[in-house]
Amino acid sequence: MNTSQILPGSTICILGAGQLGKMSLIAAHQLGFKTMVWSPDSVPGVLDPAMAMATHRLRRPFSCQTTIDEVLKNAAVITTEWENIPITLIQELQRRGGIVRPGNLVLEFAQSRRHEKQMAVQLGIPVTRHIWIEQGGLRLEHNWAAYLPGILKTNKLGYDGKGQWSVNSVEELVSVFAQADTDCVLEKRVDFAAEVSVLVARNADGEIAVSDLVQNTHQDGILDTTVWPICSSKAITRQISVVVQEAAVHVAKYLVLKGILVLEFFITKTGQCLFNEVAPRPHNSFHGSIEAAHTSQFEQHIRAICNLPLGAVRFHTPFQMKNLIGGAWESDWVPWMSQSGSRLHLYGKEDSKPGRKMGHVTILRPSK
């Protein structure tokens, strides 16, 4: 037996309590692990999706010292389902002997668009045309036209299209940048043929497994659908898949990853693969792996952080995954219950707000 393996029966602690945590916990329980979830009380009285599933629930602020003691005493490994967990907490858990996977280095890259883009450039992975604008540092004499039409994104804390704005003119840039009031990047809008993502896993023994590519469609900056196989575009050749997969492996090795990463790419009409961003955790675009892949992304996450042999996030069945977004979502999910070949996942969020991810449905063997 490999003594660095974390075996079933041990406790896994997840920091964060959203749907990604919930589905990781389901995979952890299936493999025989016990679980803890630690997340602050953001909405009093409302169980966040992962809280409802955990063996131990720690609904406390991330600054709570007694909770740090409790986690270190009980958890064989600590992981994250959200990249914006305070780095100081991760560092303290590590300093006091906790095994945190992926650890502070990976989270520091993923928390900052600047760091992740710089890493890609350093590794020779092409990125979108962009320019950094520091808070208060917008100079009107600059040649902004080279980056317009563009998308202004905050360096930190953006997700699901939040913290980013479409800008078409210098006037718009000035007003939107003032509104953002923080360090930003202005990216030239890419007229892409397709958006794709890829998942790479690496365990502490250095075993690496890379997934098939999936194709994503966004609406208002939020993922709407994901499909496999990649069908819509002849632009995505076998060669492009290999380029994207190799880039993912390169990043995993560079970061000495112990866990999983999902990388998003734009594929241009001329076949260039432009890195967009990286998530150090399970990702919405791989939810279809629960039903359609040999190993789901959530099980791969658990295997990777426990230094167990990796599985294959390779698809055996064509699928389409559709997100169910808050607002009028009740009318969205009910019809799926009577559709054979569709698998409905509702996250158990009590508050349905426009733009909030409430659930998803995976349609196996969708008709074209």
Q: Which residues bind ligand ADP (CB under 6 A)?
A: 128, 151, 153, 158-161, 187, 189-190, 195, 218, 221, 264, 276-277
The least distance separating ligand ADP from the CB of residue 162, rounded to whole angstroms, comes to: 6
What span, in angstroms and rounded, lies between the C-alpha atoms of 11 and 205?
Answer: 20
Under 8 Å between Cβ of 229 and 288: no
Under 8 Å between Cβ of 25 and 50: yes
Specify whether the backbone of 92 is left (phi greater than 0), alpha (psi in -120 to 50) or beta: alpha
Q: What share of the chain is helix, strand, coil (3-state, %, to 5)?
A: 30, 30, 40
The least distance separating ligand ADP from the CB of residue 94, rounded to whole angstroms, comes to: 26
The least distance separating Mg ion from the CB of residue 162, rounded to whole angstroms, comes to: 11
Choice between 54 and 267, CB closer to ligand ADP = 267
The least distance separating ligand ADP from the CB of residue 216, rounded to whole angstroms, comes to: 7
* 352 burial type by CB count under 10 A (0-12 exposed, 13-18 middle, 19+ buried): middle
Choice between 33 and 147, CB closer to ligand ADP = 147
Q: Which does 151 bind (CB under 5 to 8 A by kind): ligand ADP, Mg ion, none?
A: ligand ADP
* 290 burial type by CB count under 10 A (0-12 exposed, 13-18 middle, 19+ buried): buried
What span, in angstroms and rounded, lies between the C-alpha atoms of 258 and 260?
Answer: 7
Q: Please tell me what DSSP assigns to residue 141.
A: T
Q: Please tell me what DSSP assigns to residue 364.
A: E
Q: Which two tokens stand for residue 330?
A: 């009740």
Choice between 3 and 179, CB closer to ligand ADP = 179
The least distance separating ligand ADP from the CB of residue 191, rounded to whole angstroms, comes to: 8
Choice between 89 and 151, CB closer to ligand ADP = 151
Choice between 68 and 279, CB closer to ligand ADP = 279
Q: Which does 308 bind (CB under 5 to 8 A by kind): Mg ion, ligand ADP, none?
A: none
Q: Which does 254 bind (CB under 5 to 8 A by kind): Mg ion, ligand ADP, none?
A: none
The least distance separating ligand ADP from the CB of residue 71, rounded to whole angstroms, comes to: 28
Choice between 39 and 226, CB closer to ligand ADP = 226
Q: Amino acid letter at 284?
A: N
Under 8 Å between Cβ of 320 and 226: yes
* Contact set with Mg ion (CB under 5 A): 264
